[in-house]
Amino acid sequence: MTGLFGFVASRPEIGATVLSADAGAVEARSAGDALRWGIGYFQGDDILLRRRPSDPRSVVPVGQMVADVKSRQLIGYYGAAKANAMHTDDTHPFRYRTWLFAHTGVMDGNAMVRERLLEFVPDFLRSSMRGETAGELLFHLFLSNLHAHGTLQSGTVEPDEAKTALRELIDRVEQVSSGVGVARPELNIIVANGQFVVAARTGRSMLYRAVRARELEELFGHETPSRRGVDFASTRVSLIASSVVRNAAAYRPVPAGSLLTLTHDAEPVCEPIERRVASRVAFAA
């Protein structure tokens, strides 16, 4: 069992609580197995990571993973601990400068696939790779695409530029896999840079929702004194998760072969990976 989760919130003190309320706990594939998990989030000018390559517990509440987090943006990953990825550096999310990256889905272990994909990673990025996991390779392919468009070093990147880099990443992996004669991987990817979160789905289900004002009032309205007088009507929280245990009816599936964009000041946007025709989803306050 593997999965991704995350949030974008207009206020740093509420996102983790809202995510915890919906996401519940995650568990390893079978009793006795250990989990590996990690979260990455933005706090002021800093990017903070909590990564556990092997948690001895087979069930871990997401609320414990994100405990005490105050951030407007977070992404996370969970899955069964792997014998060949027992180091912190091999555990999602990965970080480079202001970017965070995590994915689920299996890539073929064919050495030729990796060799050909590495050809598209410039030397200065290849030198920053610390392991040989598929996740780190995919992340550096994404970074390579940003670099090719001149946006890797930019202080401000637009969501469309990140989506272009993700489209090119998916195209590249599928083309190389097809050329080598191995199965096309089914991947779910999530990236964040402190300004927005973008997810791509070609694999298993991913869900998302915008949290309504009345739900925020129910969660926080009785707290004192820190949130007394907060205007929840103007407060935005958007969630993404592979699975949820609460408010499932409020979630919408990210369509297969789609990109999802979450920002601090707008509703979630889904659009096809193949085309740039966006469709906004409206939610009642």
C-alpha distances (whole Å) from 87 to each of 4, 52, 107, 114 are 19, 8, 20, 20
Examine residue 94 and state whether it is found in any structural domain, yes or no.
Answer: yes
Encoding tokens for residue 281? Answer: 């989803």
Give 169-172 contacts, CB < 8 A, sequence gap 24+. 169/138, 169/141, 169/142, 169/145, 170/200, 170/202, 170/273, 172/117, 172/120, 172/141
Ramachandran class of 134: left when φ > 0, alpha when ψ lies in -120 to 50, beta otherwise: alpha
Q: Which of 1-15, 21-35, 171-185, 269-283 has the lowest mean pLDDT?
A: 269-283
Q: Which of 27-36, 60-69, 101-110, 223-232 has the lowest mean pLDDT?
A: 223-232
Encoding tokens for residue 88? Answer: 């912190």
- pTM summary value: 0.92
User: Does the pLDDT value for residue 28 go beyond 60?
Assistant: yes
Examine residue 236 and state whether it is found in any structural domain, yes or no.
Answer: yes
Examine residue 179 and state whether it is found in any structural domain, yes or no.
Answer: yes
Instruction: Compute the mean pLDDT over every residue in the chain, rounded to the nearest whole number.
Output: 89
Examine residue 285 and state whether it is found in any structural domain, yes or no.
Answer: no
Q: What is the pLDDT of residue 221?
A: 72
Closest CA to 66 of 1, 15, 11, 9: 15
Contact yes or no for 52/26 (Cβ under 8 A): no
Examine residue 241 and state whether it is found in any structural domain, yes or no.
Answer: yes
Domain count, the chain: 1
**Residue 105, burial from CB neighbour count under 10 angstroms (0-12, 13-18, 19+):** middle
Q: What is the pLDDT of residue 279?
A: 40
Contact yes or no for 203/260 (Cβ under 8 A): no
Q: What is the pLDDT of residue 225?
A: 46
User: Does the pLDDT value for residue 191 go beyond 80?
Assistant: yes
Ramachandran class of 269: left when φ > 0, alpha when ψ lies in -120 to 50, beta otherwise: beta
CATH number at residue 239: 3.60.20.10
Q: Give the structural domain span for 61.
A: 3-280
Examine residue 199 and state whether it is found in any structural domain, yes or no.
Answer: yes
Examine residue 11 and state whether it is found in any structural domain, yes or no.
Answer: yes
Q: What is the pLDDT of residue 132?
A: 80
Q: What is the pLDDT of residue 276?
A: 41
